[in-house]
Structure 1
Amino acid sequence: MSNIVKINQSNLDAALLGIALERTAPDSLQAQLTEGLRHAILNDPGTSGARLPASRKLAGELSVSRTTVQIAYDQLISEGYLTSRRGSGTFVADNLPHLSPPVTKTAGLRPEAQPWRPFHTGVPDQALFPHQSWARHLERAWRAPENALLARPDPMGWYPLRQAIADHLSAWRGLPCDPGQVLITSGAWEAFELICRALLPGGSAVALEDPGWSPLREVLDACGARACPLRTDHEGLNPADIPTGVAAAIVTPSRHYPTGATMPLARRAALLDWAQQTGGLVVEDDYDSEFRYKGHPLPSLAGLDGLRHCIYIGSFSKLLSPALRIGYAVLPQTQVDPARHHLARTGTRASLIPQPALASFMTSGEFATHLRRMRRIYARRQEYLLSELAPLSDLLDLSPDPAGMHLCARLTPKLAGRITDRHIAARAQERGVFLRALSSHSVLPDPPQGLLLGYAGHDEAALGAAAHTLARLLRDIA
């Protein structure tokens, strides 16, 4: 036997070792073996002319019947990959010109996770997430799961978590509600999508804040609703601006995103009066109201309304971690059945896995302790960032914000006359600083000019370095 033949035989023997058959796979054992042999031949032309094991021997090695091997051999003989020689056995065909050249395999490089950089907004400091405590709750829930966790899940979510959320809202936001009104979601996107598809007539006009959360317009468009953007002022959205025919208004009254404005009580009452008079629906996105550093928050819209015309939306992405993908909506009693029926058809996207752990984390008191701790830390970080940016007071309108996770710094006339906020954001990106332009959240003409400076998810060292980079950039421009 020549060296070439020996090498080819060795190559085939090695390739056969990589064939594994799964009895639980959807494809039959014959189909799996045929594909495995075909792949071995295609992947290495060095097997050309090599002899395959006798069908009885290969069947024993793979723990299948001899018939399974014979069927696979016969199929590949008919396709021209194998040849049979009477009295000698079965061989890989020589000179297969129709085969493609072997694909050169390169080692796959695992993409590196991109860290959050200052000044990303809406990002909690995940290094301060209570990992050990969370792991304990998660392990306890699933080490010996109760029968209800293994049964058909409730489309509205795990009931103990809904109970914990209802208790939390009553204590923190003065919003008494029944757990049956709480719906667990995978985040704001799913909540808004459900509202548009299940609770509003098709093609409804929906009033939005401008500037506002940019993806919201995409949600409405995907659901066939019509976005009606309304320019906000220093008190948020003005209910008097809502045009006739609007079916719903989506607002962030406790802290407008992204400017940070707070809707005063008079406007809140006017908005609820609009809903009562027109039959419209008010959707309150209370995305980070737990992080208030000074004073007391105004009552939630849903609390003032008694959950008659108002839906309340919240999320744990900013309170704990965006990796949880857990949010919630609190519905008026009249909207619970339509929402449940919709979810029964489509299913919820919120994973059940973290829900029992989150429920026990909340009822244990550790959730409230974590929020209080993060509130103190975020308050210090905001104060530190403002001190680092103080030398830029002639270029940026900087003032403390009593709540939230980011600052909205408007451009002063001295700077606004030279460059737009989008150009500043682009140039900051080139220097390794992430900035969002205030105008990028607006679709109406003459958008406001400013920079969004997220501070919650970054420690003082990172904030200081980014602030100094931004200062040098703005001084170069000015």
Structure 2
Amino acid sequence: MELHVVINGRKDLAEQLYRQLREAMESGRLAAGAQLPPSRLLAEQLGVSRKTVSDTYALLTYEGLLIGKIGRGTFVNAWSPRSERLQRATDLACADTLAKWQALPSPMGHPSRDTSPRWDFIGGATTRNQFPQDEWRRCTQDALRRIAQNSGFYSQPEGLPALRSAIAGHIAFSRGVKCRDEDIVVTNGAQQALDLIARVVLEPGTIVAMEDPGYTPARLMFNAVGATVVGVPVDDQGIQVDLIPDGTRLIYVTPSHQFPLGMPMSPPRREALLARAFELGAIVIEDDYDSEFRYEGRPTDSLQSMDTRGVVTYVGTFSKTLLPELRLGYAVLPPALFGAVVKAKQLSDQHSSTLPQWALAKFISEGYLLKHIRRCHTVYAGRRERILARLAGDLSPWLEAVPTVAGFHMAALCKVPVNIPLLIELARKVEVGLYPLNVFFHETPVREGLMIGFGAIETLDIDPALDNVRDILQQIG
């Protein structure tokens, strides 16, 4: 690869070369440690004498910007770019907008491998030890072969037909979703699906109703596009439909496993929600993020399967069943939204990466996904039972589990006043990761407690971790 230097005319050649190399180092385009081309090679590239290049290198070396290493070449020395040349954010016309984005919180951010505690009850993380590495490797190798045979053009914005077909079959079998391949758009995780729907449905000032407490990243994203988000309280049957305000254009719910409390939405409440949405002319987003894992009672229908008027968009993800890093999700769209969402997807990123799409299509069609879900279900069920036993036992003076029948997290509410920030801080010191419930409340009164995820923590680690939590609660309370 040639170094980008432009020489104009035949005058002041050394000055032109000196100025461009210095500016490249000051701006950071030539980073510290970068190797410059040999003087002979750069001279040939630029059509100048080797002496011109050698003299320029010598001057920059004298100024301390370059360093020569015998037998290896010429390298950029450590250099601090002159930040005073850069425009500050506060000087820009968009300063207020930048400040708004900069001030957004980052709820539910996962720690890096280096900062993760030994025992982590984080939500939304899966059990890595159960991931079928060999099967996924075979599917990825097949995907690479398919891509090698491809034409080299961009793919379809809505996703590969093979993956859309596999998703349609999977969610019809496991969740009773009524859809065709043509109703599905493949996205980069569920979060992009929410973003695309928001782009085509919402305008600044329009009303979004969502559960309160609810999924904070969705609320922040709706706010970011200028919508007015109204928190609607939930009870033991789910969102209180009669409190959804007039003028609502979008309703966001998690009916199978309410986030973060965990209870399912009752059938009468679902019927009432669909009727209210139709009355308002609103779109309902059903975020069915982890309902593949069900432990008690009979399965419930998806809200989408009850929709006879085309108002429900069903959003799903493979981050919860496979790995968060996979970043593949999907939306099952009613006909009224499909064309607009596909256009938004194309403008956003053209299409999701085809390599994991091909791999996932084969992974589903070969039956590996269902086998993996069954295997994880057994593991998660054991972890859930162990945590529930501890919450009903020696942790019961302080915490009480909210009844839940699905997913791989549960909420534990405080039965007595507990200093949750102090509990979390002290737990972190003994390598236990705990996470508060209060960050998910918007307008309704906060109920203090913990969100306890059991996807990432190993079964044998639960008791020693909760022993530490019990000891801290005794210490502070």
TM-score, with structure 1 as normaliser: 0.79
Residue 64 of structure 1: CA displacement?
A: 6.8
| 1:65 pairs with one of 24, 40, 44 | 44
Give aligned-pair identity as a percent.
30
2:464 maps to what in 1? 465
User: Alignment partner of 1:402: what SS?
Assistant: coil
1:320 maps to what in 2? 322
Identify which of structures 1 and 2 has the higher relative contact order when contacts are C-alpha pairs closer than 8 Å and 6+ apart: 2
**Alpha-carbon separation, structure 2, partners of 1:300 and 1:385:** 27
| Residues 1:394 and 2:397 are matched in the alignment | yes
Q: 1:395 to 1:334 in 2, by over 3 A?
A: same
| 2:126 pairs with one of 116, 124, 127 | 124
What one-letter code is carried by the residue in structure 1 that aligns with 2:458? D
* 1:34 and 1:73 in contact (8 A); partners too: no
User: Alignment partner of 2:445: what SS?
Assistant: coil
**Alpha-carbon separation, structure 2, partners of 1:266 and 1:228:** 22
1:375-454 to 2 correspondence within 5 Å? 375-389=377-391, 390-398=393-401, 401-412=404-415, 415-416=416-417, 419-454=418-453
Q: How many residues align?
A: 418
Summarize deviations over 1:193-225 as a string: whole Å, max 9, x none: 111111334432100111111111210121111
1:334-413 to 2 correspondence within 5 Å? 334-348=336-350, 350-389=352-391, 390-398=393-401, 401-412=404-415
Residue 237 of structure 1: CA displacement?
A: 0.7
1:4 maps to what in 2? none
**Alpha-carbon separation, structure 1, partners of 2:277 and 2:397:** 43
**Alpha-carbon separation, structure 1, partners of 2:464 and 2:383:** 13
What one-letter code is carried by the residue in structure 2 that aligns with 1:426? E
Deviates more, 1:381-390 or 1:420-429: 420-429
Residue 140 of structure 1: CA displacement?
A: 1.1
* 2:190 and 2:328 in contact (8 A); partners too: no
**Alpha-carbon separation, structure 2, partners of 1:456 and 1:275:** 34
User: Alignment partner of 1:436: what SS?
Assistant: coil
* 2:318 and 2:327 in contact (8 A); partners too: yes
User: Alignment partner of 1:287: what SS?
Assistant: coil
2:90 maps to what in 1? none
Divergent runs of 4+, >4 A: 25-31, 33-39, 91-102, 146-149
**Alpha-carbon separation, structure 1, partners of 2:166 and 2:195:** 24
2:265 maps to what in 1? 263
| Residues 1:103 and 2:78 are matched in the alignment | yes
Residue 93 of structure 1: CA displacement?
A: 8.6
Residue 331 of structure 1: CA displacement?
A: 0.3
* 1:58 and 1:69 in contact (8 A); partners too: no
Q: 1:471 to 1:425 in 2, by over 3 A?
A: same
Q: 1:63 to 1:221 in 2, by over 3 A?
A: closer
1:212-291 to 2 correspondence within 5 Å? 212-291=214-293
User: Alignment partner of 2:277: what SS?
Assistant: helix
| Structure 2 residues without counterparts, runs of 5 or longer | 27-37, 68-75, 81-111
1:47 maps to what in 2? none
1:208 maps to what in 2? 210
2:295 maps to what in 1? 293
**Alpha-carbon separation, structure 2, partners of 1:93 and 1:331:** 60
* 1:156 and 1:183 in contact (8 A); partners too: yes
**Alpha-carbon separation, structure 2, partners of 1:36 and 1:343:** 43
| Residues 1:133 and 2:117 are matched in the alignment | no
1:87 maps to what in 2? none
**Alpha-carbon separation, structure 2, partners of 1:359 and 1:392:** 44
1:299-318 to 2 correspondence within 5 Å? 299-306=301-308, 308-318=310-320
User: Alignment partner of 2:265: what SS?
Assistant: coil
* 2:262 and 2:402 in contact (8 A); partners too: no
**Alpha-carbon separation, structure 1, partners of 2:61 and 2:228:** 65
**Alpha-carbon separation, structure 1, partners of 2:371 and 2:306:** 27
What one-letter code is carried by the residue in structure 2 that aligns with 1:74? T
RMSD: 3.3
Q: 1:97 to 1:222 in 2, by over 3 A?
A: closer
**Alpha-carbon separation, structure 2, partners of 1:188 and 1:35:** 50
* 1:118 and 1:453 in contact (8 A); partners too: no
What one-letter code is carried by the residue in structure 1 that aligns with 2:409? H
Q: 1:94 to 1:200 in 2, by over 3 A?
A: closer
Deviates more, 1:451-460 or 1:133-142: 451-460
* 2:64 and 2:77 in contact (8 A); partners too: no
Summarize deviations over 1:319-378 as a string: whole Å, max 9, x none: 000010111111001211111222232325632220000000000011101101111110
1:114 maps to what in 2? 115
Summarize deviations over 1:20-63 as a string: whole Å, max 9, x none: xx24x6656999x9579968xx99xxxxxxxxxxxxx963xx39
**Alpha-carbon separation, structure 2, partners of 1:238 and 1:314:** 23
| Structure 1 residues without counterparts, runs of 5 or longer | 1-21, 44-56, 83-90, 106-110
Q: 1:397 to 1:154 in 2, by over 3 A?
A: same
Q: 1:35 to 1:432 in 2, by over 3 A?
A: farther
1:195 maps to what in 2? 197
Residue 102 of structure 1: CA displacement?
A: 5.5
Larger Rg: 1 or 2? 1
1:85 maps to what in 2? none
* 1:286 and 1:312 in contact (8 A); partners too: yes
* 2:400 and 2:414 in contact (8 A); partners too: yes
User: Alignment partner of 1:145: what SS?
Assistant: helix
**Alpha-carbon separation, structure 2, partners of 1:243 and 1:211:** 17
Residue 76 of structure 1: CA displacement?
A: 7.4
Deviates more, 1:281-290 or 1:422-431: 422-431
Summarize deviations over 1:142-194 as a string: whole Å, max 9, x none: 13436557322111111111111110111011112011111111122211111
**Alpha-carbon separation, structure 2, partners of 1:93 and 1:332:** 64
